[in-house]
Amino acid sequence: MTDKTTLTIIKPQAVRNLHSGKIIDMILSAGYIIKAIKMVTLSHDLASKFYEIHKDRPFYENLVKSMTSGPVIVALLEKDNAVQDYREFIGSTNPAEAVTGTIRNLFGTSMQDNAVHGSDSDENAAREASFFFSEMERF
């Protein structure tokens, strides 16, 4: 993985509220290439493992509960400076503080249900990509 790849997850609340298509369209319109994409439903064990980096934080259990409340769409995105640019593109973790027009501003409803996850570093993008996609699924 390089600085050209990041991982995103369209969270259950956004999938449930039928915002997935709009979010994917925004991602594509911003110049990202989708290298792999699929819909999955996370078990409690898988969500706990994915978010274990946050296990000591007060929001951890609620985050795991939220992420297991329905299907998610996971995608590998490619673009120069992918991680940093995508973090700016999606907006602040708190939708109420996100810049107008960002994904989280438009589709997030709370800190947990902020519509999308985005990798926060190149190292985490590589780890997260391997968590969800086999080598064969990444092209």
The answer to whether residues 76 and 36 touch, using CB atoms and an 8 Å cutoff, is yes
Q: Does residue 117 carry a catalytic annotation?
A: yes
- Select which of 19, 44, 54, 117 is catalytic: 117
CA dihedral 14, 19, 22, 24 (to 10 degrees): 40
Among the listed residues 66, 80, 53, 56, the one whose alpha carbon sits nearest the alpha carbon of residue 10 = 66
The percent helix, strand, coil of the chain (3-state, each to 5) is 45, 15, 35
Between the alpha carbon of residue 29 and those of residues 2, 16, 34, 37, 63, the distances in Å are: 22, 22, 11, 17, 29
Task: Just list the catalytic residues.
Answer: 117
